[in-house]
Structure 1
Amino acid sequence: MGETRGHLQCPRARGSTVTPRKIWAATQEKITLLEPMVVVAFLAVSVSGFVFLRLASEISERETRAFDTAILRALREPQDLAVPIGPAWLMKAFTDLTSLGGVTVLSIITTLSVIFLFLVRRRITAIFLMLSVLGGWVLSNGLKLGFSRPRPEIVPHLVEVHDLSFPSGHAMLSAVAYLTLGLLLAQTQKSRVLRCYFVGIAIFLTVLVGVSRVYLGVHFPTDVLGGWCAGAAWACLCWLIARRLIPEVERAASQG
């Protein structure tokens, strides 16, 4: 009985005692495993959401009119507001670049990316990418209808536009599509350099599209800033969800 009692009183090994040193070591390990991109994504969602809401409030109170007017006028020749500053090729370049944020181009890029993911048997990721971009498109149109801000008439438009102004659909959808795709591609790479490269390219393309909309006079600068914030928040939120759910869903599907 004594031996049995001794056995029951010592179910754990001697080295399994929890000590403050072991707790601190476990905490350090968790901090090390927490990828910097996760922290950045959380910050991006929080900051972008806050800036968008603050910007929307300022626009509704017409507090951004002077800022928008100054920038739009600064990008045109003072003698003729129909002529943008810079050489002729610059307007041609921005006219081409603005198409990168159009529905047609983004639909083609998204479709090709989804097909590629299906071909490499990343079906769950493919479906998630498609739903993320479609969700961003629905959100963009919903925000436009909600705010109903008309297009700027401060300077002549250099390309034809028809819909509402805030937030910029080109800026928001390019952020949604390129950032979501860039973050998902970065997630497949172990090299930090390659992960930063994918995300950097996505940000670069998004910025080019937004700047082109202001240069061409079809959006207020605050429209583009709002589109960037809303698109970045949506893309980073989708990536955080994908990072958590996709591996588990794919694992469950393979086991099933």
Structure 2
Amino acid sequence: MPPLLARVEARTLLAFLLVAGSLWGFAALAEEVMEGDTHRLDARLLLALRDPADPGRALGPPALRTAMRDVTALGGATVLLSLTAALMAALAIRRQPRSALFLGVVVAGGQALSHGTKAIFDRPRPDLLPHATETFAASFPSGHSMMAAATWLTLAMMLARSEPQRRMKAFLIVLAALVTVAVGVSRVYLGVHWPTDVLAGWTLGTAWALLCFLLARWLSLRGGIEPERGGP
């Protein structure tokens, strides 16, 4: 087997294993949450980020709370849809219209999955302390965390497919992962999600992004979207 083909097949196998692991983790976590087994740990972790003398006040200076609200916006619909539209336009300018359409469908599908799972589990938001930002939907899984994982990782993947340098490909994926982690942490810090909500959002969003990665590879091999540039 040629070395390049072996690397590609190894990458595909790894992606399948990560998808399976992420979905299993989400299912196991959802079962524990619905049975109430995680509530004590959730409450302990949530309160650990609060002033013991005033649970309504998050730890750290006011500037940190402002920064966390800025970070959490990176997982909001306004930012994510704007970035998606911008990248779709960039792909179209690069004469990759099928990749642009694929990206739009993937992000829309992720949004639908997020809203659907929230409706199924319908977990109440944390009620131990006041929320530092407004909330409008159920708590499990964290929509911001899930969509940060699903969208930022997918955006990075689509950019990486058009980037010939492997170092830049790796940089884009790592940057997307860091943004995803930061968004999830901000949701707990602001008191609007239980930690297990965020963990569930990360696992489900990552599984979605990886499934889309595999679908993009399958489509590119069959001419459904433009081929990837550079090495894996």
TM value normalised by structure 2? 0.92
Q: CA deviation at 1:249?
A: 2.0
**Higher mean C-alpha deviation, range 39-48 or range 233-242:** 39-48
Q: CA deviation at 1:29?
A: 6.5
- Aligned-partner Cα distance in 1 for 2:118–2:127: 18
Pair 1:102-2:76 in alignment? yes
The structure-2 alpha-carbon separation of the partners of 1:250 and 1:210, relative to structure 1 and needing over 3 Å to count, comes to closer
Match of 1:45 in 2: 19
Pair 1:207-2:181 in alignment? yes
Q: CA deviation at 1:187?
A: 2.2
Q: CA deviation at 1:246?
A: 3.0
Match of 2:108 in 1: 134
Pair 1:239-2:213 in alignment? yes
**Higher mean C-alpha deviation, range 75-84 or range 39-48:** 39-48
Pair 1:63-2:31 in alignment? no
Corresponding letter in the other structure for 1:143: T
Corresponding letter in the other structure for 1:34: E
- Aligned-partner Cα distance in 1 for 2:113–2:8: 33
Pair 1:191-2:165 in alignment? yes
Of structures 1 and 2, the larger Rg is shown by 1
Aligned-residue RMSD, C-alpha: 1.6
The structure-2 alpha-carbon separation of the partners of 1:180 and 1:250, relative to structure 1 and needing over 3 Å to count, comes to closer
Structure 1 unpaired stretches of 5+: 1-25, 252-256
Corresponding letter in the other structure for 1:31: A
Pair 1:31-2:31 in alignment? no
Q: CA deviation at 1:27?
A: 7.2
The structure-2 alpha-carbon separation of the partners of 1:34 and 1:215, relative to structure 1 and needing over 3 Å to count, comes to same
Corresponding letter in the other structure for 1:72: L
8 Å Cα contact 2:216-2:225 kept in structure 1: no
Structure 2 unpaired stretches of 5+: 227-232
- Aligned-partner Cα distance in 2 for 1:74–1:33: 44
Q: CA deviation at 1:250?
A: 4.4
TM value normalised by structure 1? 0.84
Corresponding letter in the other structure for 1:201: L
Number of residue equivalences: 225
Q: CA deviation at 1:209?
A: 0.7
Percent identical pairs in the alignment equals: 43
